Chain A
Amino acid sequence: MKRRGFAFDLGIATAVLVVLVILPILFPSKALIDFAIRVAAFGIFASSLNILVGYTGLVSFGHGMFFASGAYAFGLLMQKAGTSIPTAFLLTVLISAALAVVVGAICVRLKEIYFAFLTLAFQMLLHSLIISWQQLTGGDQGLMGGIPRPPFLGIDLSDQSQLYLFACATLVISLLLMRHLMQSPFGYTLRMIRDNAERAQYIGIRVWRMRLAAFVLAGTFASIGGIIMSLLMSGAYPEFAYWTISGEAIFMLMLGGTSAFLGPTVGTMMLLLLNDVITKFTEYYGLTLGVVILLFALVFRKGVADFVVEEWRRRFGENQA
């Protein structure tokens, strides 16, 4: 089954990283840098959601919960505890993983739409907690006063171009890790559960435990997306925990495709580009985006990356996955 190993992926990742490093030298545009950082934040977030949706067959409506937990935990650690960025990064990932264990242990027992609704309920719970706990979170105003970004190891993330490099590296490493995990026996177990949970159960797989592992993994990576966002914004806002963020992530998956590994990242780029272009020209964003979404859902019916991969395979007759 495994066509190419980890080394191949690693090679591609390194090549992409080199391209990303060179890119701003060729096109020195601040807008491009901003765009890339947002792609990194949301790309990691959408890809992590795909671990659940595409690989495990669990549709979560509440994935934004971990994006928010990443942004808030990181921001609060930097603001209140004054830790260094690597320490805060690590602690944030751990906190989000712990949150994912608790929430996941409750949620993954449920199936289909009930799972979706339970995750939504937890997300809204977090949202109303953020709004209510004003002393800690600033309520609807978000974390005020900016997030300090002290230099570490000679890296200064308050400098936009250094943040760009950091975000790109985090994106590539996160994607590589996720890819590796999804190509491992663990990843194939998840696919088996997705395709037929009962059969997986019969051959001795502990479905509940595997689903929980996928949930925790997804939540953990999502929090990394949140960290990058909070670094870019120098703040965190309750909108990160609102259901619209989860909705956008789902749309990113659908735009890019859930089968191809890079589908969510491609979808992220497309949605962000769409968003930026549409808001530039019209205040009727909803009307315009709505039409685009309908086109996708009713006419194309599959994500762009999935389409490309399938075409490729059809034409060049590579062995089917």
Chain B
Amino acid sequence: MSKNQKPNRITRRRFLKNATALGGAAVLGFPMISRSQAKTIRVGMPTILSGRVAQLGTSSRNAVMMEVEKFNAAGGLGGRRIEMVVRDSKGQPQEAARVSRELVNSEGCEILFDAEASSGAFAVNEVARDLGVLCFHINSETSALTADPKNRIPNAFRTARQGVHDSIAGGHYAASVAKAKGLRQWMTCSPDYAYGRDTTAQYLEYLKLFYPQAEVVGEAWPKLFQPDYTEVITKILQAKPQALYSCLWGGDLTSYIDQGNIYALFKATQFFAVNMADYTALTVVKNLPVGIHSGNRYIKTFPKTAANAAWGDAYRAKYGEYPTNWAWESATTANFLTAALKKANSADGKKLAEVLRGLKIDSPFGTDGTITMRAEDQTIIGYAIGWGTTISKEPYMPEVTAGDWKQILELELDWKKRNKYI
């Protein structure tokens, strides 16, 4: 937690005063909150501020605040400012849903920023479906959230990267490395939950598409937040694969690397860890093996533009820490909202949804300096996606090979057809 001002920090005295007032109000039966501040545009944001992934939720809030402050300082929407109402869901989907309903029903929020992990995102999606409120899914990368028609609703937009995009770009990169180095025997080691299973299966699918000689000689499935990876590591040592893929992330990935290191696991095997090039992990691992292949999460060196580097520096200067993957996604969300507000010249959810479909904005996180909200399934495309290898100090991943969006989109279409989504 940075020492900088926190947007919803309140003094103890005000807390007590509010608590008493609210206690009274609650006893009297939840009178409707007065809409005296009708001039501001209230945006509700359920996110995870406590527990194991609090770091991500906090960075999500930080990034949104940074962009919203810019918008407000520039005069907002004809004088109407955005006011964020951020709440902790503690990472529980039922709390995420409860908080979202409360934000809309009694806090007067007209827009939701869903900054939850996957189960929370699906819970908030159902709230958005029931209440018809405009909703941005900021952080959930699960492809099914927008690809599967049964989850899709006209008022929800995803402003996060998407698993299938990552896998196509990752598979293509892996295949080119594998071809060059003759890596035929592959193994996977991913966390055993929906994200881990889906992402790994898709990654292997595209690896084999681009490099049919690749063969999977074994799989290991540690639990999410597992403290000890010994059995997984020795299993991999047994199979002696030439290459290893993992979509472990955050603290799990660093534990895994620390434990793999003492077995000399990464000496004999090429390691492809899609979530490695994230500052939270890069800066924490003390003995980072050189040459881990990773996808970009957020990295200042990619896209290699002044705008991107400036954004990363500004964030770091403001909050005293590096931005995370959730941070750029959150900033992008705020940028999409403010762009839509200006274009629609209105804060009405329906009008905003109308202009959001197909909206293209300038963004430091776009491969070509722009990101587009694809109209048909209301998810973003064109964001920075690429792979490279790590070094153990700044800039951590100096060179990144950009993914080819034309190829990604073509194969994504095939993938959707195969899954009968379209």
B22 with A35: CB separation less than 8 A: no
Number of A residues, CB within 8 Å of B: 46
Given A34-B105, A141-B122, A277-B22; A29-B194 close (CB under 8 Å): no
B119 with A283: CB separation less than 8 A: no
B140 (CB) vs chain A CBs: closest residue: A141
A273 (CB) vs chain B CBs: closest residue: B26
CB distance from A26 to the nearest CB of B (A): 8
Interface status of A32 (Cβ within 8 A of chain B):
yes
B151 with A145: CB separation less than 8 A: yes
Chain A hits for B150, CB < 8 A: 144-146
Chain A hits for B194, CB < 8 A: 134, 138-141
B98 with A38: CB separation less than 8 A: yes
Chain A hits for B18, CB < 8 A: 281
Partner of B101, one of A34, A134, A140, A281: A34
Interface segment among A95-103, A171-179, A228-236, A250-258: the answer is: A228-236
Q: A219-244: which residues lie under 8 A (CB-CB) from chain B?
A: 229, 232-235, 237-240, 244
Interface status of A320 (Cβ within 8 A of chain B):
no
Interface status of A112 (Cβ within 8 A of chain B):
no
Interface status of A131 (Cβ within 8 A of chain B):
yes
A144 with B50: CB separation less than 8 A: no
Chain A hits for B88, CB < 8 A: 279, 283, 285
CB distance from B163 to the nearest CB of A (A): 12
CB distance from B76 to the nearest CB of A (A): 25
Partner of B151, one of A23, A34, A144: A144
In the complex, A279 Cα to B92 Cα: how many Å? 13
B118 with A29: CB separation less than 8 A: no
In the complex, A285 Cα to B92 Cα: how many Å? 13
Q: B71-122: which residues lie under 8 A (CB-CB) from chain A?
A: 87-88, 90, 92-95, 97-99, 101-102, 105-106, 118-119, 122
In the complex, A27 Cα to B15 Cα: how many Å? 26
CB distance from A128 to the nearest CB of B (A): 9
Interface status of B19 (Cβ within 8 A of chain A):
yes
Number of B residues, CB within 8 Å of A: 46
B122 with A32: CB separation less than 8 A: no
B18 (CB) vs chain A CBs: closest residue: A281
CB distance from A192 to the nearest CB of B (A): 38
Interface status of B193 (Cβ within 8 A of chain A):
yes
Contact string against B for A residues 158-180, beta-carbon threshold 8 Å, 1 for contact and 0 otherwise: 10100000000000000000000
Chain B hits for A28, CB < 8 A: 32
CB distance from B415 to the nearest CB of A (A): 18
Chain B hits for A240, CB < 8 A: 94
Q: B1-24: which residues lie under 8 A (CB-CB) from chain A?
A: 8, 10, 15, 18-19, 22-23
B22 with A280: CB separation less than 8 A: yes
CB distance from A299 to the nearest CB of B (A): 19
Interface status of B30 (Cβ within 8 A of chain A):
yes
CB distance from A232 to the nearest CB of B (A): 8
Given A146-B126, A277-B19, A281-B10; A32-B29 close (CB under 8 Å): yes
Chain A hits for B102, CB < 8 A: 31, 34, 276
B126 with A235: CB separation less than 8 A: yes
Given A235-B126, A237-B119, A239-B93; A134-B142 close (CB under 8 Å): no
Chain A hits for B49, CB < 8 A: 283
B94 with A229: CB separation less than 8 A: yes
B94 with A132: CB separation less than 8 A: no
Q: B151-185: which residues lie under 8 A (CB-CB) from chain A?
A: 151
A272 (CB) vs chain B CBs: closest residue: B98
B118 with A140: CB separation less than 8 A: yes
Chain B hits for A276, CB < 8 A: 26, 98, 102
Interface status of B197 (Cβ within 8 A of chain A):
yes
CB distance from A239 to the nearest CB of B (A): 5
A233 with B94: CB separation less than 8 A: yes
Interface status of A111 (Cβ within 8 A of chain B):
no
A144 with B22: CB separation less than 8 A: no
Chain A hits for B90, CB < 8 A: 279, 285
Interface status of B408 (Cβ within 8 A of chain A):
no
Given A27-B29, A285-B90; A142-B122 close (CB under 8 Å): yes
Please give me the 4 A-B residue pairs with the lowest Cβ-Cβ distance, nearest first: A145-B150, A30-B105, A31-B106, A27-B29
Task: Please list 28 pairs of residues, one from A and one from B, whose beta carbons are closer than 8 Å in the complex, sorted by A's number.
Answer: A27-B31, A28-B32, A31-B30, A31-B102, A34-B102, A34-B105, A131-B193, A134-B194, A138-B122, A138-B194, A140-B193, A144-B150, A233-B94, A234-B130, A235-B93, A235-B126, A237-B92, A237-B94, A239-B92, A239-B119, A273-B26, A276-B98, A277-B23, A279-B87, A279-B90, A279-B95, A281-B10, A281-B22
